[in-house]
C-alpha cells in the first residue's frame, strides 16, 4: 500500500462516498482505506494529465507504438518499448531476414524507433502479410527474436512451433467498413457465452465467418441480447481456452482475419446484440518466442521482476500495473478493442486473482471486511481496474464491464465516484458450484431448498450480478454439464421421442428446466448461458492436446441436436427460448420487488415474487409429491394466468397442469403476504404466474 500522512487521507474528497456508506454502513470503519485508494486513482489521472497529455492521448498508444504506415508518404515507422535491450532491429521477409540491416534508435525512456522509407516506386518497403520480427540484443549480448507486442495480426504456419508477426496493411478496398450502429447500453443482459473455434459440429477449428453466418441467427432466435466472445485475443496454445494470451492486440488468426471478426461484430450489431470481449489482463503467457515474457531479455519489462511477477497456479506472468509503459500498453489495449473492433464492453477475466497478493490460491474468503481492506489486497491492481473502467465508461459511455470475481469484494461494482471499482456487474460464481456439488453428491430428495435459495439471493444488493447455473468452466473436461450429470450415459441413448422417457431422462429433463429457471429468476440482475447448454449439450469440452491425441471430437458444439425433431434436446432448447421471451416481457432482471415468501423443506417448494405484473414463481422440487390446491402468498390481488409451465408438452413435460387455468386471489394472508391463491403444483415442476387483471 502507498503510505500517506493521516491528514492527507482525511482530507481526500470522494465525491459520492456518503452514498456508498448509506448503502452499506458496515463500510464506515474502512472509509479511510477507500479514500486512500481513490486518492491514488485521482493522483494517477492528474499525473497522466500533466505528463502524457491526459488519458485521451495516453490510450492512443496503439496508433503509434508498433509498426505503422505513414499515410502521407508510405514510410514505415517502428516504435517499441524495450527498456533493457542493448540494441533492437527489425527484420523479415522484406529484407531476407538479415539480422542487423535495420537498427532502431533508443531514447531516454527505453523506447526504440526507426523509419523505413518507402521504395522508389512509392510503395511500402514491407508488403501486406509479410512475416516480420524484432531482433533484440540483450544486455548480455544474446540475440532474441521477438514478436511486436502491439501486433494486430500474428500467424503460425502448420509446420511451425511459434508464431511470426504479420505486417497487416490490407488495401483500402479490403478493410471492413462497419454498416450498423452499436447498441445502447442494455439494462437487462441475457448473455450467450461463446467460443468461436468450437462453434461448429465439425471436428475442426471453426471460423469467424461460420459464427457470423450460422451461430448469430441461433442466438437471435433464442432471445439473447448479448454475446460474450471468448478466446479472441491471440493465444499460442489452443487448449488454454484463450487464457494464456501471447498477443494482446491480435485477434486470433486461427479463426480468420481481423476483417472477418469485424464483420461478425457488425452482423451482431445489425440484430441489436451487444458484443462483449473476454479480456485477459490478469496475467500473460510465459512463452518467450511469441509472447511478452522476457521481451527485453529480463524477467521484468511488462511484469514484476520478482516472485510477484509469477502466477504459480496458472504458470504465467503477472503484470506490473504501476509501471507507466505497462499502463499505456494495457489501457490502450482496452481502447483498441472498443474503438477498432467496436466491441461493446468486456468480461474481465481473473479479477479475483488480480485483487489479492495470494491470487486467491488457498484463500478461503470468510466475508469479513478486514479481508478486503487489509494488506492481502493488491491495491495496485484495484487502482488499475479503476483506470480501466474509467476509460471504458467515460470514452465509451454505452460500454459494459463485468468482473469475474469470486471473493465478493465490496465496492467493486460501485461507481468510482463512490470510491468503488467501477464495474457494472460481477459474475455470481458461487451459484454453479452449488448446483454441481449437489448433482455430484446429493440425491435431489435430500436437497435443502433453503440453502439453494440462500446461495441465489446472497449477494450485495447494491452491486449487480450475472447469474448462471453453468458456464464454460463446468463444461471443461474433468467435469460435466448439468444435463450430463443428470442423465449420465442415457443422454446418448435414450433421448429419442420414439421411445418412452426412462425415469432417468424424465428426472433429468425436469430438473434441468427447474435449475435453470430458478437461477435465472432469483440469482442476479443478468443471465448467462454457455453455448450448447441451452439444449442440454451431452458432452464436455476438451481441446486437442497430447492427452487426447490432439482430437477435436470434444472441441465442438452439436448444434444439429436441437434441430432434430426426433430428439428431446429440442424441448430444452424451446424452454430456454421461452425463459428469455418471458424475461423480455416481464423484465424481472431489473425488478426491485423480489420477495421470497416460501422455502418449505418437507414439501421442497419455493415461492417468490419478482418482475412486472405481479409475477409469481412456484417451484416444486419434490421427487414424488404433487400438491393439489397448494396455497401460496402474494402481495397483488386479482386474476393470474400461467406464463411459464415446465410441465407443458411444449417442453416435454407430463402435461399435468392446464395452461389455460385461471387463478384468483383470496383475501387471506399467507406466508407474510396480503393475499393468497391455490394452485396444483406437481412434482418437479415450476410454474410462473402473471397478474392479468
Looking at residue 115, which CATH number applies to its domain? 2.60.40.10
Domain assignment of residue 480, yes or no? no
Q: How confident is the model at residue 140 (pLDDT cuts 50, 70, 90)?
A: very high
Residue 617 structural domain: 591-691
Residues 151-186 have pLDDT tens digits of 999 999 888 889 999 999 999 999 999 999 999 999
Cell of 344: 461493446
Cα separation, 432 vs 427, whole angstroms: 11
Cell of 152: 494486430
Angle at 594 between CA 589 and CA 595, to 5 degrees: 155
Q: H or E stretch including 39?
A: helix 31-52
Domain assignment of residue 34, yes or no? yes
Domain assignment of residue 348, yes or no? no
**Minimum mean pLDDT among 298-302, 339-343, 538-542: which range?**
538-542
Active site residue 349: yes
Q: Which residues of 342-380 are buried (b: 16+ CB within 10 A; e: fewer)?
A: bbbbbbbbbbbbbbbeebbeeeeeeeeeebbbeeebbbb
Q: What is the dihedral of CA 302, 306, 308, 314, to 10 degrees?
A: 80
Q: In 10 A of CB 627, how many CB atoms?
A: 18
Domain co-membership, 74 together with 41: no
Domain assignment of residue 227, yes or no? no
Do 295 and 303 contact (CB within 8 A), yes or no? no
Q: How confident is the model at residue 1 (pLDDT cuts 50, 70, 90)?
A: very low
Domain co-membership, 78 together with 49: no
Residue 5 confidence (pLDDT): 60
Residue 327 confidence (pLDDT): 98
Q: Is the pLDDT score of 2 beyond 60?
A: no
Determine the distance from the C-alpha atom of residue 435 to the mean position of all C-alpha atoms in its chain, rounded to a whole number. Answer: 20
User: How far is residue 492 from each of residues 211, 489, 537, 560, measured CA to CA in Å?
Assistant: 26, 6, 10, 14
Cα separation, 187 vs 589, whole angstroms: 8
Contacts 24+ apart (CB under 8 A), 182-186: 182/269, 182/342, 182/344, 182/398, 183/269, 183/272, 183/273, 183/274, 183/344, 183/398, 184/398, 185/274, 185/397, 185/398, 185/399, 185/400, 186/225, 186/226, 186/274, 186/400
Q: Is the pLDDT score of 6 beyond 70?
A: no
Domain co-membership, 608 together with 658: yes
Query: What radius of gyration, in Å, describes the C-alpha atoms of the chain?
Result: 27
Domain co-membership, 108 together with 23: no
Domain assignment of residue 527, yes or no? no
Q: Is the pLDDT score of 108 beyond 80?
A: yes
Domain co-membership, 621 together with 659: yes
What is the rounded average pLDDT of the residues 471-500?
A: 90
Query: Domain containing 646 — which CATH number?
Result: 2.60.40.1180
Cα separation, 383 vs 499, whole angstroms: 59
Cell of 19: 452514498
Residue 476 confidence (pLDDT): 80
Q: Is the pLDDT score of 252 beyond 70?
A: yes
Domain assignment of residue 133, yes or no? yes
Domain co-membership, 164 together with 67: yes
Q: Which residues of 516-536 are buried (b: 16+ CB within 10 A; e: fewer)?
A: bbbbbbbbbbbbbbbbbbbbb
Domain co-membership, 86 together with 137: yes
Domain co-membership, 75 together with 118: yes
Active site residue 404: yes
Percent of the chain past pLDDT 70, that is, above it, reads 99
Domain assignment of residue 33, yes or no? yes
Domain co-membership, 113 together with 142: yes
Domain co-membership, 65 together with 48: no
Which is catalytic among the residues 404, 463, 470, 647?
404
Q: Indicate the average pLDDT of the chain.
A: 96
What is the rounded average pLDDT of the residues 328-357?
A: 98
Domain co-membership, 66 together with 133: yes
Residues 76-103 have pLDDT tens digits of 999 999 999 999 999 999 999 999 999 9
Which of 174, 206, 224 is a domain's end point? Answer: 174
Strand pairing partners for 595?
A: 609
Domain co-membership, 47 together with 139: no
Q: Is the pLDDT score of 4 beyond 70?
A: no
Number of separate domains in the chain: 3
Domain assignment of residue 631, yes or no? yes
**Minimum mean pLDDT among 38-42, 398-402, 412-416, 471-475: which range?**
471-475
User: Pairing between strand 400-403 and 345-348?
Assistant: parallel
Residues 611-662 have pLDDT tens digits of 999 999 999 999 999 999 999 999 999 999 999 999 999 999 999 999 999 9
Residue 461 confidence (pLDDT): 85
Determine the distance from the C-alpha atom of residue 578 to the mean position of all C-alpha atoms in its chain, rounded to a whole number. Answer: 24
Which of 174, 199, 218 is a domain's end point? Answer: 174
Task: State the DSSP string of 273-304.
Answer: -EEEEEE--S-B---SSSSSTTTTSSS-TTB-
Which of 174, 199, 215 is a domain's end point? Answer: 174
Which is catalytic among the residues 33, 349, 405, 444?
349
Amino acid at each position: 500500500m502507498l503510505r500517506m500522512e493521516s491528514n492527507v487521507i482525511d482530507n481526500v474528497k470522494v465525491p459520492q462516498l456518503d452514498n456508498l456508506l448509506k448503502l452499506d454502513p458496515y463500510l464506515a470503519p474502512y472509509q479511510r482505506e477507500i479514500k486512500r485508494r481513490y486518492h491514488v486513482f485521482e493522483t494517477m489521472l492528474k499525473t497522466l494529465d500533466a505528463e502524457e497529455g491526459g488519458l485521451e492521448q495516453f490510450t492512443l498508444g496503439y496508433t503509434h507504438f508498433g509498426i505503422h504506415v505513414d499515410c502521407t508518404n508510405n514510410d514505415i515507422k517502428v516504435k517499441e518499448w524495450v527498456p533493457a535491450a542493448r540494441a533492437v532491429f527489425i527484420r523479415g521477409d522484406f529484407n531476407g531476414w538479415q539480422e542487423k540491416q535495420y537498427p532502431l534508435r533508443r531514447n531516454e525512456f527505453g523506447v526504440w524507433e526507426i523509419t523505413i522509407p518507402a521504395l522508389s516506386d512509392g510503395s511500402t518497403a514491407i508488403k501486406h502479410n509479410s512475416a516480420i520480427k524484432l531482433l533484440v540484443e540483450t544486455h548480455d549480448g544474446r540475440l532474441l527474436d521477438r514478436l511486436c507486442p502491439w501486433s494486430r495480426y500474428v500467424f503460425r504456419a502448420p509446420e511451425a512451433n511459434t508464431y511470426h508477426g504479420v505486417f497487416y496493411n490490407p488495401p483500402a478496398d479490403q478493410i471492413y467498413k462497419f454498416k450498423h450502429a452499436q447498441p445502447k447500453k442494455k439494462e437487462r443482459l441475457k448473455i450467450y457465452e461463446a467460443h468461436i473455434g468450437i462453434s461448429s459440429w465439425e471436428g475442426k477449428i471453426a471460423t469467424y465467418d461460420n459464427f457470423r453466418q450460422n451461430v448469430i441467427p441461433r442466438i437471435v432466435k433464442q432471445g439473447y441480447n448479448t454475446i460474450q466472445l471468448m478466446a479472441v485475443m491471440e493465444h499460442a496454445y489452443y487448449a488454454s481456452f484463450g487464457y494464456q494470451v501471447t498477443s494482446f492486440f491480435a485477434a486470433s488468426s486461427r479463426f480468420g482475419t481481423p476483417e472477418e471478426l469485424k464483420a461478425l461484430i457488425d452482423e451482431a450489431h445489425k440484430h441489436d446484440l451487444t458484443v462483449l470481449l473476454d479480456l485477459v489482463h490478469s496475467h500473460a503467457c510465459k512463452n518467450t518466442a511469441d509472447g511478452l515474457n522476457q521481451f527485453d531479455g529480463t524477467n521484468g519489462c511488462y511484469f514484476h521482476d520478482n516472485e510477484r511477477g509469477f502466477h504459480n497456479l496458472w504458470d504465467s506472468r503477472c503484470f506490473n500495473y504501476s509501471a507507466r509503459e505497462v499502463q499505456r500498453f494495457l489501457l490502450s489495449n482496452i481502447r483498441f478493442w472498443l474503438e477498432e473492433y467496436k466491441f461493446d464492453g468486456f468480461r474481465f477475466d481473473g479479477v479475483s486473482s488480480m485483487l489479492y497478493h495470494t491470487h486467491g490460491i488457498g484463500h478461503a474468503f470468510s466475508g469479513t471486511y478486514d479481508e478486503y481492506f487489509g494488506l492481502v489486497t493488491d491495491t495496485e491492481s484495484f487502482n488499475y481496474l479503476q483506470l480501466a473502467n474509467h476509460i471504458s465508461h467515460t470514452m465509451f459511455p454505452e460500454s459494459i464491464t463485468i468482473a469475474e470475481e469470486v471473493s465478493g469484494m465490496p465496492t467493486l461494482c460501485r461507481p468510482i465516484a463512490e470510491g468503488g471499482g467501477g464495474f457494472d456487474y460481477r459474475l455470481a460464481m458461487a451459484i454453479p458450484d452449488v448446483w454441481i456439488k449437489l448433482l455430484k453428491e446429493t440425491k435431489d430428495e435430500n436437497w435443502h431448498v433453503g440453502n439453494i435459495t440462500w446461495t441465489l439471493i446472497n449477494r450485495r444488493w447494491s452491486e449487480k450480478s450475472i447469474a448462471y447455473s453453468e458456464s464454460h468452466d463446468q463444461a471443461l473436461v474433468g467435469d460435466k454439464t448439468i444435463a450430463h450429470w443428470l442423465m449420465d450415459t442415457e443422454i446418448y441413448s435414450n433421448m429419442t421421442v420414439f421411445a418412452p422417457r426412462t425415469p432417468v431422462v424424465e428426472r433429468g429433463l425436469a430438473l434441468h428446466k427447474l435449475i435453470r429457471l430458478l437461477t435465472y429468476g432469483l440469482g442476479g440482475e443478468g443471465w448467462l448461458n454457455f453455448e450448447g447448454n441451452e439444449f442440454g449439450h451431452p458432452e464436455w469440452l476438451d481441446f486437442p492436446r497430447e492427452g487426447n491425441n490432439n482430437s477435436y471430437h470434444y472441441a465442438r458444439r452439436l448444434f444439429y441436436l436441437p434441430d432434430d425433431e426426433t430428439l428431446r434436446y429440442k424441448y430444452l432448447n424451446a424452454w430456454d427460448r421461452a425463459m428469455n421471451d418471458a424475461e423480455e416481457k416481464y423484465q424481472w432482471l431489473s425488478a426491485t420487488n423480489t420477495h421470497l415468501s416460501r422455502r418449505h423443506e418437507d414439501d421442497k417448494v419455493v415461492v417468490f415474487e419478482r418482475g412486472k405484473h405481479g409475477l409469481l414463481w412456484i417451484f416444486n422440487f419434490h421427487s414424488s409429491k404433487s400438491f393439489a390446491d397448494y396455497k401460496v402468498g402474494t402481495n397483488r390481488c386479482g386474476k393470474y394466468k400461467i406464463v411459464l409451465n415446465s410441465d407443458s408438452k411444449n417442453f416435454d413435460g407430463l402435461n399435468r397442469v392446464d395452461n389455460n387455468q385461471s387463478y384468483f386471489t383470496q383475501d387471506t394472508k399467507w406466508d407474510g403476504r396480503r393475499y393468497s391463491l391455490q394452485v396444483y403444483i406437481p412434482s418437479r415442476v415450476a410454474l410462473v404466474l402473471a397478474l392479468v387483471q
